[in-house]
Structure 1
Amino acid sequence: MSTREAHLDDEAIRASRQDGTYPRPQLMRPDWADLSGTWSFAFDDAKEGLSKRWFAEPAFDRNIVVPFPFESEASGISDPSFHPVVWYSRELDSADLDEAGFASNRRLHLHFGAVDYRAQVWLNGVNLGAHEGGHTPFSFDITDAVDTSRSSQLLVVRAEDDPLDVSQPRGKQDWRLEPHSIWYHRTSGIWQPVWLESTGDLYATLVHSTPNVPDGSIALRIDLNRRPAANVQLDIVVSHEGNELAAVSVAARDLTTTTVVSLPVQTNGQAYEELLWSPEHPRLLDLRVTVRENAPIGTAGTVADEVYSYLGLRSATVAGGRFLLNDRPYYVRSVLNQGYWPESHLAAPNAGALKREAELIKELGFNATRVHQKFEDPRFLYWADVLGLLVWAETPGTFEFSPRAVARMTTEWTAVIERDLSHPSIVTWVPLNESWGVQHIAHNPQMQAYARSLVSLTRALDPSRPVVSNDGWEHVDSDILSIHDYEWSGDVLRGRYLDRDACESLLNGIGPAGRRMLLAGQDIDERPIMVTEFGGISYASKQVPDDAWGYSTATSSDDFVDRLDAVIGALAASSSLAGFCYTQLVDTLQETNGLLADDRTPKADMATLRRVITRSGPEA
């Protein structure tokens, strides 16, 4: 296929124009079936389900609404007490299989967005496999377990989540029975979408795109489910708003095919910025990959699979004490987002809530968000891509340092980078926060080596973004030097961060939280400096919980705005800071320090909040 400007078929799927319901937005297929809704459910506190073969003959005594954790109201169970083992079952009827496009010559796949923490899955009593990792996706080819003599197929899931196991990456999920301090109710079991999908025998399992802005090209990696036979071809089409920008065909000879697609339109140095992605101009390019069998290059062959994705042309780097977006200094105006809803916990109450979250952040005047202690649902990342919102992606931390915790963290971190690498909205990776899981890193060489290894692993998997080794303090190898500072006095903050000398003085000593800022071998050089947690002003605009708290307390809406203006104004006055992240977006249980109440209503006039927030950096 030749590279040309041509209008594509109006009926073609455009991944950049989804409605936000598809669970895996950067690897779309038209045939899929959503399995959300009512499932049968049982607690297994005696851990007897395996020995009693519940996977073959379930007789569960409850119903649950999937994909909501049983601890939440949205699930219909609403039991936040300890239940380490739970079971689910659902009949897959012919309508489910038909909607997924399953036929005699097709393969049927069962997908899980996330199950916290360990899952085992059966179909018609056949063990499909297991998965460990509470925030990462997994799937099974269930074709051979489908029994065509049955009117429906019995799907059974066992989920195990030990609330006392602090070697699991658990983030803000409390290990105590009731939420305390900064920790929240648990999110156990199925908490992201479950769906069916059909493919041919040969199909794409991953499409990664890494843009090279100066070169005007895109590095692509396409994985197949198996090593292809001879004469398998990948046809790749890149387009924008229906106009073809590039089209190439490459031979697929192994499980992974890599190629570089050049975009001729980007050779015009006076016009190349017209296609770049940024929060102000979130332009997305569509990507279609067609897998063809029996197709020597230049021939049509047989279509084995076709998938749809999208990407954004942008770069995210650091230099000269600044964060650079598309090689230009960009002031990061961010807000901490826990991604928690009172009715559904870490699970979004619906797909629309994920879009609304991104919209609210933008409406408040922020251009970025730090998703805190959670790998967020990919559908949120889709809306961040579409609406133009920078994202700092952060691991949910473990609370102990042990070989088991290290293995679990590195496995899950690797999986989420694989899942999310192609989202243009993600501009920074954060593998550790406030020394969680490495509490004695200042003195323990093993913990220091572990933190450095996480940074090296991240850069090995994705060298295209900055990495923060340990957000807040005790940095060992960070591209951005981040500081957590909950000082309530604007005058004190102003003095701490007024210029580069003031910032470097703080970084070279003991930080605001009484922790060392830089550990041995970490130099300041010309790295950007950001205050990535501050504020935390408590103001309960609705009912005040008994254990309500924040880092300072406002007595009225006006007082809240005044305090907010003081701390943001102090950081805005700095000639050295490259950005900030305010704590936090939404009230979360006992934490009443949100800009919005837990029902997402603002604590002051939105225009007033936006005016205060946007006093630093470019207008959103």
Structure 2
Amino acid sequence: MSTVAIPASAVAPDVPLASRQDGRYPRPQMLRSRWSDLSGTWSFRHDDADTGAESGWTTGLPDPREITVPFPPESTASGIGDPGFHPVVWYARTIGAAELEQAGHGSDRPRLLLHFGAVDHRAQVWIDGRFVGEHEGGHTPFSFDVTALLRDAADRPAGHVLVVRAEDDPLDVTQPRGKQDWHEEAHAIWYRRTTGIWQPVWLEAVPTTAISTLRWTPAGPTAVDLTVRFRGRVPAGARLRVALRFDERDEDLGTTDFDATASRPTLDVTVPLARQRNGQAEDELTWSPEHPRLVDAVLTLVDDAGRVLDVVSSYLGMRSVGVGGGHFLLNRQPYPVRSVLDQAFWPESHLAAPHPLAHRQEVELIKALGFNAARIHQKIEDPRFLHWADRLGLLVWGEAPAAYEFSPTAVRLLTAEWTAAVERDASHPSIVTWVPFNESWGIQHVVSDPAQQAYARALVDLTRALDPSRPVIGNDGWEQQDTDIVTIHDYEGDGHVLARTYADAAARTRALDGVAPSGHPQFVGGAVDRGQPVMLTEFGGVRHQSGGRREEGWGYTTAVDGDDWVRRIAALHDAVRASDFLAGSCWTQLTDTMQETNGLLNADRSPKVPIEQIRRAVTGE
């Protein structure tokens, strides 16, 4: 290993700094300079009788409608806008020479990868009627090497026909579905469904030997652990050069050279940050919501003659998270978490953001309202949202979408999808906590069923095995066994009552001893309070509809007008701040969402009262 002080830009001048990208690239922590966005107009068909495959739809769709990808067909943004039960849907579009050129296809990048950000729930893919592959899991990405099927696109004026079949049974409660309703009409706290393609589809050309995935884990203030997986055979003598740059200071942090042939096919290394520093200077590089400093990285794979085989741009955040002394710890210091529950649902596009900029706008709104964290609820969020959380400084709680049945199938599906999600998102500094279960959804009998208790413990431990660097919440809200943070859901509407409930050490004992405010036991399976931090991770939920509207909708309590609503928000947040032991909180919720009208913002993200009033109520400042 050697360390050489050369600029990152000198290693790969054509690769932009990943921390300064515009937010459109679907995989923001592994950026290549060329890619082809396949979003836009596709052909579309419902297949309620599930006869499309035997009718030959794998080569193209007869009498199709047009749909705008990546918006789900239930949404108006898709151009379809049909929220009914349609368990099977088909998509098709043509890929031609223009897409290959835009993807960077050429002699130096001969392999073609077809990427899908997310397709809910099962997907099968064909090109020109030839089966490409399939994937199961509605929130996680997948890709296929389609080189053999697309390499002759220049000789096919009509192009190649890409066909996708998506299956999403609305009645199948073994699927990790989150807040997607299994009733035809949205009811209670569940919303319209998101079927099929709902995150970007893109084409990318890569070298024969290429960087496939990477993962960053800060290893103290002066180094970062890096895991790299490669696609294709790594030739003897190949080296991986990792160049780090702190753009905020226009400062190169050095380039480290590693023997890549030791990978076969995974390389695990520790990258030093080559700079002189004392304790004070270490803080100048640390990531936090107040100072979201990012370190850019350029990874260059070269052969034994120094020829470049592959180049990708990435970024990382130098920060640590943990628990101790009853506190949530950020960078080894107690950090009060002031979070908001974000359903990340848009009325016009459902789980899909209406446009890439919407991710940035969501983060900016959350911070403008006075929060330093967001709990993305029952959804594995688009990585582009996480990019803006990284860049603008917002803590994120990563949460699994629940299945609603306990069965071997449900266990298999959630375990596989959650594993893929943790592996995909573990490099984002903004994610500080993992939440595999919420309110015993999918483990409804965890109080008494040893099998469900074993499942809950196992998924928590699996999460720790996949990522030991973050706290894991065992079952958010109640009925917890092994959890790094004890979390409580309490929708008491009176601030004075809430203040008494969480006032001091004696109140802590009462809150954790026995039955939670929900009526469920706080601990199950013999678990007891071990002195973990305690957070009120759902509270508030005060209904108010702006503009004098009195439409159908609900909240946990109801304000009489805007002034009363603001007073209630302030009183409940004052109660949390007055507590001697609460380490954090999460307000329900960011936006009105369909029939739920307890958001701080309207469904279109406009504030119900001037945003400064909400911020003062939330922060007390």
TM-score category by the smaller chain? Answer: over 0.9
**2:592 is the counterpart of 1:582:** no
The residue aligned with 2:229 is 223
The residue aligned with 1:208 is 215
Q: Is the 8 A contact 1:536 1:552 kept in 2?
A: yes
Aligned to 2:251, which of 243, 250, 259?
A: 243
Greater displacement, 7-16 / 531-540 = 7-16
Secondary structure at 2:59 match in 1:
coil
How many Å separate the matches in 2 of 1:545 and 1:28? 47
Aligned to 1:564, which of 542, 566, 569?
A: 569
The residue aligned with 1:419 is 424
Q: Is the 8 A contact 1:32 1:198 kept in 2?
A: yes
How many Å separate the matches in 1 of 2:360 and 2:571? 30
Residue identity in the other structure for 1:245: L
Aligned to 2:87, which of 84, 89, 99?
A: 84
* Alpha-carbon offset, residue 501 of structure 1: 2.1
**2:599 is the counterpart of 1:591:** no
**2:391 is the counterpart of 1:386:** yes
Secondary structure at 2:275 match in 1:
helix
**2:131 is the counterpart of 1:127:** yes
**2:567 is the counterpart of 1:551:** no
How many Å separate the matches in 2 of 1:501 and 1:573? 14
The residue aligned with 1:467 is 472
**2:316 is the counterpart of 1:311:** yes
Aligned to 1:194, which of 165, 179, 201?
A: 201
Secondary structure at 1:270 match in 2:
helix
Greater displacement, 237-246 / 464-473 = 237-246
* Alpha-carbon offset, residue 393 of structure 1: 0.4
How many Å separate the matches in 2 of 1:29 and 1:589? 38
Aligned to 1:286, which of 287, 290, 296?
A: 296
Q: Is the 8 A contact 2:593 2:603 kept in 1?
A: yes
Greater displacement, 384-393 / 96-105 = 96-105
* Alpha-carbon offset, residue 228 of structure 1: 2.1
How many Å separate the matches in 2 of 1:7 and 1:201? 24
Residue identity in the other structure for 1:141: D
Q: Is the 8 A contact 1:469 1:476 kept in 2?
A: yes
The residue aligned with 1:525 is 530
How many Å separate the matches in 2 of 1:240 and 1:459? 30
Q: CA RMSD in A?
A: 1.5
Secondary structure at 2:359 match in 1:
helix
The residue aligned with 1:337 is 342
How many Å separate the matches in 1 of 2:14 and 2:420? 33
TM-score by length of 2: 0.96
The residue aligned with 1:50 is 53
The residue aligned with 1:573 is 578
How many Å separate the matches in 2 of 1:6 and 1:94? 36
How many Å separate the matches in 2 of 1:57 and 1:605? 51
Q: Is the 8 A contact 1:391 1:425 kept in 2?
A: yes
The residue aligned with 1:439 is 444
Please list the CA deviations of residues 18-64 of structure 1 after superposition, one character each: whole Å capped at 9, or x if unmatched: 10000000011011011111100001111111111211243242000
**2:604 is the counterpart of 1:603:** no
Q: Is the 8 A contact 1:246 1:261 kept in 2?
A: no
* Alpha-carbon offset, residue 3 of structure 1: 3.6
How many Å separate the matches in 2 of 1:173 and 1:7? 44
Secondary structure at 1:130 match in 2:
strand
* Alpha-carbon offset, residue 431 of structure 1: 0.1
Secondary structure at 2:279 match in 1:
coil
Secondary structure at 1:470 match in 2:
coil
The list of structure 1 runs, each at least 4 consecutive aligned residues, that deviate by more than 4 angstroms after superposition, is 9-12, 542-546
Structure-to-structure mapping, 1:447-526, within 5 angstroms: 447-526=452-531
Residue identity in the other structure for 2:196: G
* Alpha-carbon offset, residue 500 of structure 1: 2.3
Structure-to-structure mapping, 1:64-213, within 5 angstroms: 64-104=67-107, 106-146=110-150, 147-148=152-153, 149-151=155-157, 152-213=159-220
* Alpha-carbon offset, residue 466 of structure 1: 0.2
Q: 1:545 to 1:79 in 2, by over 3 A?
A: farther
Q: 1:485 to 1:310 in 2, by over 3 A?
A: same
Residue identity in the other structure for 1:127: F
TM-score by length of 1: 0.96
* Alpha-carbon offset, residue 499 of structure 1: 1.1
Greater displacement, 490-499 / 72-81 = 490-499
Greater displacement, 249-258 / 321-330 = 249-258
Q: 1:233 to 1:371 in 2, by over 3 A?
A: same
* Alpha-carbon offset, residue 545 of structure 1: 7.0
How many Å separate the matches in 1 of 2:106 and 2:274? 41
Please list the CA deviations of residues 467-491 of structure 1 after superposition, one character each: whole Å capped at 9, or x if unmatched: 0010000111110000000011111
**2:249 is the counterpart of 1:257:** no
**2:412 is the counterpart of 1:407:** yes
How many Å separate the matches in 1 of 2:6 and 2:348? 49
How many Å separate the matches in 1 of 2:276 and 2:82? 55
Aligned to 2:64, which of 61, 80, 91?
A: 61
How many Å separate the matches in 1 of 2:195 and 2:161? 22
* Alpha-carbon offset, residue 496 of structure 1: 0.7
Secondary structure at 2:605 match in 1:
coil
Structure-to-structure mapping, 1:33-44, within 5 angstroms: 33-44=36-47
Q: Is the 8 A contact 1:473 1:516 kept in 2?
A: yes
Residue identity in the other structure for 2:470: R
Q: 1:545 to 1:305 in 2, by over 3 A?
A: farther
How many Å separate the matches in 1 of 2:186 and 2:548? 18
Aligned to 1:327, which of 332, 337, 347?
A: 332
How many Å separate the matches in 2 of 1:343 and 1:317? 38
Q: 1:7 to 1:78 in 2, by over 3 A?
A: closer
Q: Is the 8 A contact 2:223 2:272 kept in 1?
A: yes
* Alpha-carbon offset, residue 213 of structure 1: 2.4
How many Å separate the matches in 2 of 1:93 and 1:353? 30
**2:233 is the counterpart of 1:232:** no
Secondary structure at 2:58 match in 1:
coil
Secondary structure at 1:275 match in 2:
coil
Please list the CA deviations of residues 250-274 of structure 1 after superposition, one character each: whole Å capped at 9, or x if unmatched: 1123110010011133652231100
Greater displacement, 237-246 / 446-455 = 237-246
Residue identity in the other structure for 1:258: D
Secondary structure at 2:280 match in 1:
coil
Residue identity over aligned pairs, in percent, reads 54
* Alpha-carbon offset, residue 244 of structure 1: 1.7
How many Å separate the matches in 2 of 1:474 and 1:266? 49
* Alpha-carbon offset, residue 526 of structure 1: 2.4
Secondary structure at 2:73 match in 1:
coil
Unpaired segments ≥5 residues, structure 2: none
The residue aligned with 1:271 is 281
Residue identity in the other structure for 2:256: V
The residue aligned with 1:2 is 3
Q: Is the 8 A contact 2:192 2:350 kept in 1?
A: yes
Unpaired segments ≥5 residues, structure 1: none
Greater displacement, 265-274 / 171-180 = 265-274
